[in-house]
Structure 1
Amino acid sequence: MVQPLLKYPDSRIRLISANVRFFNDELLQWITDMVDTMKANDLDALSAIMIGIQYNIIVIKKGDEYLPYINARLIKCSGKSTQTERSTYYEAISVDVERFDNVTVIYEDEKGEPHHQDLSGDPAHIFQQQLDYSFGSTFVDRVDREMKQRINDHLEFGLVANGSTCPMVFVRDYFKRGAKYVMLLIALSFIIPFFASEEVRALIYRIDIYLLLAVPVLMIAYFFYALYESRLYKQCTSCQIGNIIGTTAIMATQLLIVALGVIFWVAP
Protein backbone atom coordinates (compact mmCIF):
# COMPACT_ATOMS: atom_id res chain seq x y z
CA MET A 1 0.00 0.00 0.00
CA VAL A 2 1.27 3.47 -0.87
CA GLN A 3 2.14 5.43 2.27
CA PRO A 4 2.51 9.21 2.70
CA LEU A 5 6.09 10.46 2.74
CA LEU A 6 7.35 12.48 5.67
CA LYS A 7 7.57 16.15 4.73
CA TYR A 8 9.15 19.13 6.45
CA PRO A 9 8.62 20.07 9.29
CA ASP A 10 7.58 16.59 10.54
CA SER A 11 9.99 15.95 13.44
CA ARG A 12 9.86 12.15 13.03
CA ILE A 13 12.68 12.52 10.52
CA ARG A 14 14.96 12.84 13.57
CA LEU A 15 13.98 9.51 15.13
CA ILE A 16 16.75 6.92 15.27
CA SER A 17 15.56 3.69 13.69
CA ALA A 18 15.74 0.44 15.66
CA ASN A 19 17.17 -2.78 14.29
CA VAL A 20 14.73 -5.33 12.93
CA ARG A 21 14.57 -8.36 15.25
CA PHE A 22 11.73 -10.36 13.76
CA PHE A 23 11.75 -11.38 10.11
CA ASN A 24 8.06 -12.04 9.77
CA ASP A 25 4.99 -11.11 7.73
CA GLU A 26 4.90 -7.63 9.25
CA LEU A 27 8.39 -6.96 7.91
CA LEU A 28 7.35 -8.17 4.46
CA GLN A 29 4.36 -5.82 4.57
CA TRP A 30 6.62 -2.89 5.46
CA ILE A 31 8.87 -3.69 2.52
CA THR A 32 5.86 -4.00 0.22
CA ASP A 33 4.59 -0.61 1.40
CA MET A 34 8.02 0.91 0.78
CA VAL A 35 8.18 -0.50 -2.75
CA ASP A 36 4.63 0.68 -3.51
CA THR A 37 5.50 4.15 -2.22
CA MET A 38 8.69 4.23 -4.31
CA LYS A 39 6.78 3.31 -7.45
CA ALA A 40 4.07 5.89 -6.76
CA ASN A 41 6.64 8.66 -6.24
CA ASP A 42 9.18 7.50 -8.83
CA LEU A 43 11.93 7.01 -6.23
CA ASP A 44 15.12 5.00 -6.62
CA ALA A 45 15.68 4.56 -2.89
CA LEU A 46 13.76 4.85 0.35
CA SER A 47 14.44 4.56 4.06
CA ALA A 48 11.62 3.15 6.20
CA ILE A 49 11.51 6.19 8.49
CA MET A 50 10.49 8.27 5.46
CA ILE A 51 7.07 6.61 5.67
CA GLY A 52 7.01 6.66 9.46
CA ILE A 53 8.36 3.13 10.09
CA GLN A 54 11.04 3.44 12.78
CA TYR A 55 13.18 0.49 11.72
CA ASN A 56 16.49 0.27 9.91
CA ILE A 57 15.16 -0.82 6.51
CA ILE A 58 16.33 0.59 3.19
CA VAL A 59 15.04 -0.36 -0.24
CA ILE A 60 17.15 0.39 -3.33
CA LYS A 61 15.93 0.07 -6.90
CA LYS A 62 18.32 -1.80 -9.18
CA GLY A 63 17.01 -2.18 -12.71
CA ASP A 64 13.53 -3.61 -12.32
CA GLU A 65 14.27 -5.05 -8.88
CA TYR A 66 13.69 -3.49 -5.47
CA LEU A 67 16.31 -4.78 -3.05
CA PRO A 68 15.81 -4.54 0.74
CA TYR A 69 18.78 -3.82 3.02
CA ILE A 70 17.88 -4.55 6.63
CA ASN A 71 19.95 -3.50 9.66
CA ALA A 72 22.56 -2.07 7.30
CA ARG A 73 25.96 -0.77 8.42
CA LEU A 74 29.01 0.60 6.63
CA ILE A 75 32.17 -1.33 7.44
CA LYS A 76 34.58 0.10 4.89
CA CYS A 77 34.76 3.46 3.13
CA SER A 78 37.23 5.09 0.75
CA GLY A 79 37.54 8.05 -1.59
CA LYS A 80 35.38 11.15 -1.41
CA SER A 81 33.58 13.40 -3.85
CA THR A 82 30.88 16.05 -3.76
CA GLN A 83 27.51 15.79 -5.43
CA THR A 84 24.31 17.83 -5.33
CA GLU A 85 21.64 16.10 -3.26
CA ARG A 86 17.90 16.61 -2.93
CA SER A 87 15.29 15.07 -0.69
CA THR A 88 11.57 14.43 -0.70
CA TYR A 89 11.61 15.73 2.89
CA TYR A 90 13.24 19.13 2.26
CA GLU A 91 11.58 19.54 -1.13
CA ALA A 92 12.75 23.06 -1.94
CA ILE A 93 16.40 22.51 -1.03
CA SER A 94 19.38 21.11 -2.91
CA VAL A 95 22.90 21.20 -1.48
CA ASP A 96 26.36 19.95 -2.34
CA VAL A 97 27.32 17.10 -0.02
CA GLU A 98 30.64 15.26 0.29
CA ARG A 99 30.35 11.50 0.66
CA PHE A 100 32.45 8.38 0.25
CA ASP A 101 32.75 7.08 -3.29
CA ASN A 102 33.30 3.46 -2.28
CA VAL A 103 31.62 1.66 0.60
CA THR A 104 31.26 -1.89 1.83
CA VAL A 105 27.87 -2.61 3.36
CA ILE A 106 26.79 -5.43 5.64
CA TYR A 107 23.06 -6.10 5.95
CA GLU A 108 20.38 -8.76 6.18
CA ASP A 109 17.74 -9.68 3.64
CA GLU A 110 14.01 -10.14 4.31
CA LYS A 111 14.68 -13.69 5.55
CA GLY A 112 17.34 -12.58 8.03
CA GLU A 113 20.23 -13.94 5.99
CA PRO A 114 23.44 -11.87 6.32
CA HIS A 115 25.11 -10.31 3.26
CA HIS A 116 27.79 -7.84 2.34
CA GLN A 117 28.09 -5.73 -0.78
CA ASP A 118 30.50 -3.25 -2.33
CA LEU A 119 28.98 -0.06 -3.75
CA SER A 120 30.70 2.63 -5.78
CA GLY A 121 29.79 5.96 -7.34
CA ASP A 122 26.15 7.03 -7.36
CA PRO A 123 24.83 3.85 -5.69
CA ALA A 124 27.26 4.43 -2.80
CA HIS A 125 26.16 8.06 -2.41
CA ILE A 126 22.46 7.14 -2.56
CA PHE A 127 22.90 4.40 0.01
CA GLN A 128 24.69 6.73 2.44
CA GLN A 129 21.92 9.29 2.14
CA GLN A 130 19.27 6.70 3.00
CA LEU A 131 21.37 5.34 5.86
CA ASP A 132 21.55 8.86 7.30
CA TYR A 133 17.76 8.90 7.55
CA SER A 134 17.81 5.63 9.48
CA PHE A 135 20.01 7.24 12.10
CA GLY A 136 18.07 10.46 12.53
CA SER A 137 20.18 12.56 10.19
CA THR A 138 19.63 14.38 6.90
CA PHE A 139 21.96 15.74 4.24
CA VAL A 140 21.84 19.22 5.77
CA ASP A 141 23.76 17.85 8.77
CA ARG A 142 26.73 17.27 6.46
CA VAL A 143 27.15 20.84 5.23
CA ASP A 144 29.27 23.53 6.90
CA ARG A 145 27.91 25.90 9.53
CA GLU A 146 27.44 28.81 7.14
CA MET A 147 25.39 26.76 4.68
CA LYS A 148 23.36 25.23 7.50
CA GLN A 149 22.49 28.70 8.78
CA ARG A 150 21.44 29.79 5.29
CA ILE A 151 19.17 26.77 5.03
CA ASN A 152 17.79 27.43 8.51
CA ASP A 153 16.96 31.02 7.57
CA HIS A 154 15.34 29.90 4.31
CA LEU A 155 12.96 27.43 5.92
CA GLU A 156 9.70 28.73 7.37
CA PHE A 157 10.22 27.12 10.79
CA GLY A 158 13.97 26.64 10.64
CA LEU A 159 15.74 23.31 10.53
CA VAL A 160 14.06 20.47 12.38
CA ALA A 161 16.06 19.92 15.55
CA ASN A 162 17.33 16.59 16.79
CA GLY A 163 14.53 14.42 18.14
CA SER A 164 15.96 14.57 21.67
CA THR A 165 15.60 18.37 21.78
CA CYS A 166 12.90 20.93 21.19
CA PRO A 167 12.47 22.56 17.78
CA MET A 168 14.01 26.01 17.35
CA VAL A 169 10.64 27.55 16.49
CA PHE A 170 7.15 26.64 17.71
CA VAL A 171 4.25 27.44 15.39
CA ARG A 172 2.09 28.32 18.38
CA ASP A 173 4.40 31.25 19.13
CA TYR A 174 3.15 33.00 16.00
CA PHE A 175 -0.37 33.05 17.44
CA LYS A 176 0.89 34.32 20.80
CA ARG A 177 2.98 36.99 19.10
CA GLY A 178 -0.01 38.04 17.00
CA ALA A 179 -2.20 38.44 20.10
CA LYS A 180 0.57 40.43 21.80
CA TYR A 181 0.98 42.83 18.89
CA VAL A 182 -2.77 43.40 18.57
CA MET A 183 -3.04 44.22 22.29
CA LEU A 184 -0.04 46.54 22.01
CA LEU A 185 -1.72 48.33 19.11
CA ILE A 186 -4.87 48.74 21.19
CA ALA A 187 -2.83 50.05 24.13
CA LEU A 188 -1.33 52.73 21.88
CA SER A 189 -4.84 54.08 21.35
CA PHE A 190 -4.97 55.02 25.04
CA ILE A 191 -3.23 58.31 24.20
CA ILE A 192 -6.08 59.30 21.85
CA PRO A 193 -8.27 60.96 24.54
CA PHE A 194 -5.49 63.48 25.25
CA PHE A 195 -5.67 65.23 21.89
CA ALA A 196 -8.31 63.74 19.56
CA SER A 197 -11.76 65.10 18.88
CA GLU A 198 -14.85 63.21 19.96
CA GLU A 199 -15.40 62.10 16.39
CA VAL A 200 -11.91 60.62 16.04
CA ARG A 201 -12.19 59.11 19.47
CA ALA A 202 -15.39 57.33 18.48
CA LEU A 203 -13.73 55.94 15.35
CA ILE A 204 -10.71 54.66 17.30
CA TYR A 205 -13.06 53.10 19.83
CA ARG A 206 -14.87 51.13 17.11
CA ILE A 207 -11.53 49.95 15.69
CA ASP A 208 -10.41 48.87 19.18
CA ILE A 209 -13.57 46.81 19.61
CA TYR A 210 -12.86 44.90 16.39
CA LEU A 211 -9.24 44.36 17.44
CA LEU A 212 -10.38 43.13 20.85
CA LEU A 213 -12.53 40.51 19.14
CA ALA A 214 -9.50 39.28 17.20
CA VAL A 215 -7.42 38.61 20.33
CA PRO A 216 -9.56 35.74 21.72
CA VAL A 217 -9.48 34.10 18.29
CA LEU A 218 -5.66 34.17 18.34
CA MET A 219 -5.65 32.91 21.93
CA ILE A 220 -7.89 29.95 21.09
CA ALA A 221 -5.71 29.15 18.06
CA TYR A 222 -2.64 29.33 20.31
CA PHE A 223 -4.14 27.03 22.92
CA PHE A 224 -5.23 24.26 20.58
CA TYR A 225 -2.10 24.36 18.43
CA ALA A 226 -0.01 24.28 21.60
CA LEU A 227 -1.86 21.13 22.67
CA TYR A 228 -1.06 19.61 19.27
CA GLU A 229 2.64 20.49 19.63
CA SER A 230 2.67 19.11 23.18
CA ARG A 231 1.90 15.69 21.71
CA LEU A 232 4.73 16.06 19.19
CA TYR A 233 7.39 17.33 21.61
CA LYS A 234 6.68 15.66 24.93
CA GLN A 235 10.29 16.19 26.04
CA CYS A 236 10.06 20.00 25.91
CA THR A 237 9.29 21.73 29.20
CA SER A 238 7.48 24.51 27.31
CA CYS A 239 5.12 21.87 25.91
CA GLN A 240 3.78 20.80 29.30
CA ILE A 241 0.05 21.36 29.69
CA GLY A 242 0.54 23.49 32.82
CA ASN A 243 2.84 25.83 30.91
CA ILE A 244 0.35 26.16 28.05
CA ILE A 245 -2.54 26.88 30.42
CA GLY A 246 -0.41 29.39 32.33
CA THR A 247 0.55 31.25 29.15
CA THR A 248 -3.07 31.34 28.03
CA ALA A 249 -4.14 32.66 31.46
CA ILE A 250 -1.54 35.45 31.28
CA MET A 251 -2.79 36.46 27.83
CA ALA A 252 -6.37 36.42 29.11
CA THR A 253 -5.39 38.72 32.00
CA GLN A 254 -3.64 41.10 29.61
CA LEU A 255 -6.71 41.09 27.38
CA LEU A 256 -8.95 41.93 30.33
CA ILE A 257 -6.74 44.89 31.32
CA VAL A 258 -6.65 46.21 27.75
CA ALA A 259 -10.40 45.74 27.33
CA LEU A 260 -11.11 47.68 30.54
CA GLY A 261 -8.85 50.45 29.29
CA VAL A 262 -10.80 50.66 26.05
CA ILE A 263 -14.17 50.66 27.77
CA PHE A 264 -13.40 53.16 30.56
CA TRP A 265 -10.81 55.36 28.88
CA VAL A 266 -11.04 55.30 25.09
CA ALA A 267 -14.82 55.06 24.80
CA PRO A 268 -16.35 58.47 23.96
Structure 2
Amino acid sequence: MALLQIIKHPDDILEMECEKVTNFDRKLTKLINDMYDTMLAEDGVGLAAPQIGIAKQIAIVDVEDENGLLELINPVILEEHGEQVGPEGCLSFPGLFGEVTRSDYVKVRAQNRRGKTYIIEARGFLARAIQHEIDHLHGVLFTTKVNRYYEEGEIEG
Protein backbone atom coordinates (compact mmCIF):
# COMPACT_ATOMS: atom_id res chain seq x y z
CA MET A 1 0.00 0.00 0.00
CA ALA A 2 1.12 3.52 -0.71
CA LEU A 3 0.08 6.91 0.55
CA LEU A 4 -0.95 9.14 -2.32
CA GLN A 5 -0.52 12.89 -2.62
CA ILE A 6 -3.70 14.89 -2.13
CA ILE A 7 -4.30 17.43 -4.88
CA LYS A 8 -5.08 20.86 -3.45
CA HIS A 9 -7.31 23.59 -4.84
CA PRO A 10 -6.94 25.38 -7.31
CA ASP A 11 -5.68 22.42 -9.39
CA ASP A 12 -7.83 22.14 -12.56
CA ILE A 13 -8.48 18.39 -12.15
CA LEU A 14 -10.69 19.16 -9.15
CA GLU A 15 -13.21 20.87 -11.42
CA MET A 16 -13.24 18.31 -14.24
CA GLU A 17 -16.01 15.89 -15.17
CA CYS A 18 -14.51 12.45 -14.54
CA GLU A 19 -14.61 9.50 -16.95
CA LYS A 20 -16.52 6.32 -16.21
CA VAL A 21 -14.51 3.30 -15.08
CA THR A 22 -14.57 0.41 -17.56
CA ASN A 23 -11.66 -1.75 -16.36
CA PHE A 24 -12.20 -3.56 -13.08
CA ASP A 25 -8.73 -5.02 -12.67
CA ARG A 26 -5.86 -5.35 -10.18
CA LYS A 27 -4.77 -1.78 -10.85
CA LEU A 28 -8.20 -0.56 -9.72
CA THR A 29 -8.05 -2.73 -6.59
CA LYS A 30 -4.60 -1.36 -5.72
CA LEU A 31 -5.77 2.19 -6.35
CA ILE A 32 -8.79 1.78 -4.04
CA ASN A 33 -6.60 0.24 -1.33
CA ASP A 34 -4.11 3.12 -1.64
CA MET A 35 -6.94 5.66 -1.59
CA TYR A 36 -8.27 4.09 1.60
CA ASP A 37 -4.86 4.21 3.31
CA THR A 38 -4.44 7.82 2.20
CA MET A 39 -7.90 8.82 3.43
CA LEU A 40 -7.21 7.28 6.85
CA ALA A 41 -3.77 8.90 7.09
CA GLU A 42 -5.33 12.29 6.30
CA ASP A 43 -8.16 11.71 8.82
CA GLY A 44 -10.84 11.94 6.13
CA VAL A 45 -14.17 10.16 5.74
CA GLY A 46 -14.14 10.21 1.95
CA LEU A 47 -11.79 10.57 -1.00
CA ALA A 48 -12.42 10.89 -4.72
CA ALA A 49 -10.00 9.98 -7.52
CA PRO A 50 -9.62 13.56 -8.80
CA GLN A 51 -8.26 14.46 -5.36
CA ILE A 52 -5.29 12.23 -6.12
CA GLY A 53 -4.93 13.39 -9.72
CA ILE A 54 -7.04 10.75 -11.50
CA ALA A 55 -10.05 11.91 -13.51
CA LYS A 56 -12.07 8.69 -13.09
CA GLN A 57 -15.42 8.09 -11.37
CA ILE A 58 -13.98 6.43 -8.28
CA ALA A 59 -14.74 7.53 -4.73
CA ILE A 60 -14.62 5.92 -1.32
CA VAL A 61 -16.50 6.76 1.87
CA ASP A 62 -16.10 5.37 5.37
CA VAL A 63 -17.90 7.19 8.17
CA GLU A 64 -17.08 4.37 10.60
CA ASP A 65 -20.59 2.96 10.73
CA GLU A 66 -22.00 -0.50 10.06
CA ASN A 67 -21.55 -0.02 6.29
CA GLY A 68 -17.76 0.09 6.55
CA LEU A 69 -15.88 1.10 3.40
CA LEU A 70 -18.13 2.08 0.51
CA GLU A 71 -16.58 1.84 -2.94
CA LEU A 72 -18.47 4.22 -5.20
CA ILE A 73 -17.47 3.50 -8.79
CA ASN A 74 -19.56 5.16 -11.52
CA PRO A 75 -22.10 6.26 -8.87
CA VAL A 76 -25.49 7.73 -9.77
CA ILE A 77 -27.92 9.34 -7.34
CA LEU A 78 -31.28 7.73 -8.09
CA GLU A 79 -33.34 9.48 -5.44
CA GLU A 80 -32.85 12.17 -2.84
CA HIS A 81 -35.08 14.04 -0.43
CA GLY A 82 -35.15 15.93 2.81
CA GLU A 83 -32.67 18.54 3.88
CA GLN A 84 -29.81 18.75 6.34
CA VAL A 85 -27.48 21.62 7.10
CA GLY A 86 -24.08 20.99 8.62
CA PRO A 87 -20.33 21.47 8.51
CA GLU A 88 -18.15 20.16 5.71
CA GLY A 89 -14.48 20.22 4.99
CA CYS A 90 -12.38 18.73 2.22
CA LEU A 91 -8.90 17.23 2.06
CA SER A 92 -8.26 19.41 -1.02
CA PHE A 93 -9.02 22.55 1.05
CA PRO A 94 -7.00 22.01 4.25
CA GLY A 95 -8.26 23.99 7.22
CA LEU A 96 -11.35 25.31 5.41
CA PHE A 97 -14.80 24.44 6.75
CA GLY A 98 -18.23 25.66 5.77
CA GLU A 99 -21.90 25.10 6.42
CA VAL A 100 -23.47 23.20 3.51
CA THR A 101 -27.08 22.23 2.80
CA ARG A 102 -27.49 18.70 1.41
CA SER A 103 -30.24 16.14 0.96
CA ASP A 104 -30.85 14.16 4.15
CA TYR A 105 -31.56 10.94 2.21
CA VAL A 106 -29.98 9.52 -0.93
CA LYS A 107 -30.42 6.32 -2.87
CA VAL A 108 -27.35 5.60 -5.00
CA ARG A 109 -26.46 3.00 -7.60
CA ALA A 110 -22.74 2.27 -7.86
CA GLN A 111 -20.27 -0.48 -8.58
CA ASN A 112 -17.64 -2.00 -6.33
CA ARG A 113 -14.04 -2.83 -7.26
CA ARG A 114 -15.17 -6.04 -9.00
CA GLY A 115 -17.73 -4.22 -11.14
CA LYS A 116 -20.71 -5.57 -9.21
CA THR A 117 -23.58 -3.09 -9.22
CA TYR A 118 -25.29 -2.39 -5.91
CA ILE A 119 -27.73 0.11 -4.42
CA ILE A 120 -27.24 1.87 -1.12
CA GLU A 121 -29.65 4.08 0.79
CA ALA A 122 -28.15 6.55 3.24
CA ARG A 123 -29.30 9.23 5.64
CA GLY A 124 -27.65 11.91 7.71
CA PHE A 125 -23.87 12.11 7.83
CA LEU A 126 -23.35 9.14 5.49
CA ALA A 127 -25.67 10.73 2.91
CA ARG A 128 -23.72 13.99 3.25
CA ALA A 129 -20.37 12.26 2.71
CA ILE A 130 -21.64 10.31 -0.32
CA GLN A 131 -23.03 13.47 -1.94
CA HIS A 132 -19.76 15.35 -1.29
CA GLU A 133 -17.70 12.62 -2.99
CA ILE A 134 -20.08 12.19 -5.93
CA ASP A 135 -19.87 15.96 -6.48
CA HIS A 136 -16.08 15.61 -6.81
CA LEU A 137 -16.59 13.18 -9.70
CA HIS A 138 -18.48 15.88 -11.57
CA GLY A 139 -16.07 18.71 -10.81
CA VAL A 140 -18.31 20.27 -8.17
CA LEU A 141 -16.50 21.55 -5.08
CA PHE A 142 -18.13 21.97 -1.68
CA THR A 143 -17.05 25.62 -1.70
CA THR A 144 -19.68 26.28 -4.39
CA LYS A 145 -22.38 25.13 -1.94
CA VAL A 146 -21.25 26.82 1.27
CA ASN A 147 -23.89 28.92 3.06
CA ARG A 148 -21.26 30.43 5.34
CA TYR A 149 -17.68 29.65 6.30
CA TYR A 150 -16.69 28.74 9.84
CA GLU A 151 -14.07 30.67 11.74
CA GLU A 152 -11.14 28.70 13.15
CA GLY A 153 -12.22 26.87 16.32
CA GLU A 154 -15.94 27.39 15.64
CA ILE A 155 -16.64 23.70 15.00
CA GLU A 156 -15.47 20.65 16.87
CA GLY A 157 -13.84 17.94 14.81
Q: Equivalent residue for 2:10?
A: 9
Say which structure, 1 or 2, has more relative contact order (CA 8 Å, 6+ apart). 2
SS state at 1:50 partner:
helix
- How big is each residue's C-alpha offset from its partner over 1:130-183, in whole Å with a ceiling of 9 and x where there is no partner? 111110010121246xx6xx9xxxxxxxxxxxxxxxxxxxxxxxxxxxxxxxxx
Mapping of 1:27-42 within 5 angstroms?
27-42=28-43
Partner residue of 2:93 out of 75, 90, 94: 90
TM-score scaled by length of structure 1? 0.51
- 1:104 equivalent to 2:107? Answer yes
Q: Equivalent residue for 2:60?
A: 59
Q: Equivalent residue for 2:116?
A: 113
Q: Distance in 2 between matches of 1:87 and 1:109?
A: 23
Q: Equivalent residue for 2:79?
A: 76
Instruction: Using the TM superposition, give the Cα deviation of residue 62 of structure 1 relative to its aligned residue in structure 2, in angstroms.
Output: 5.0
Preserved CA contact (<8 Å) 2:63 2:126: no
- 1:138 equivalent to 2:141? Answer yes
Q: Equivalent residue for 1:241?
A: none
Write 1 or 2 for the structure with the bigger share of helix: 1
TM-score scaled by length of structure 2? 0.86
Q: Distance in 1 between matches of 2:89 and 2:36?
A: 20
- How big is each residue's C-alpha offset from its partner over 1:75-112, in whole Å with a ceiling of 9 and x where there is no partner? 00010121121112122322111100000000011111
Q: Distance in 1 between matches of 2:93 and 2:64?
A: 26
Q: Distance in 1 between matches of 2:31 and 2:130?
A: 19
Residue type at the aligned position of 1:104: K
Q: Distance in 1 between matches of 2:100 and 2:64?
A: 25
SS state at 2:56 partner:
coil
Preserved CA contact (<8 Å) 2:42 2:91: no
Identity of aligned residues (%): 27
Residue type at the aligned position of 2:105: N
SS state at 2:82 partner:
strand
- Aligned residue pairs total 146
Structure 1 residue runs of 5 or longer lacking an equivalent are: 151-268
Write 1 or 2 for the structure with the bigger share of strand: 2
Q: Equivalent residue for 2:26?
A: 25
Instruction: Using the TM superposition, give the Cα deviation of residue 39 of structure 1 relative to its aligned residue in structure 2, in angstroms.
Output: 2.1
Preserved CA contact (<8 Å) 2:81 2:105: yes
**Range 28-37 or range 58-67, more displaced:** 58-67
Mapping of 1:76-225 within 5 angstroms?
76-143=79-146
Two-structure CA RMSD over aligned residues (Å): 1.8
Structure 2 residue runs of 5 or longer lacking an equivalent are: 150-157
Q: Distance in 2 between matches of 1:81 and 1:62?
A: 17
Residue type at the aligned position of 2:51: M
Residue type at the aligned position of 2:36: V
Preserved CA contact (<8 Å) 2:18 2:55: yes
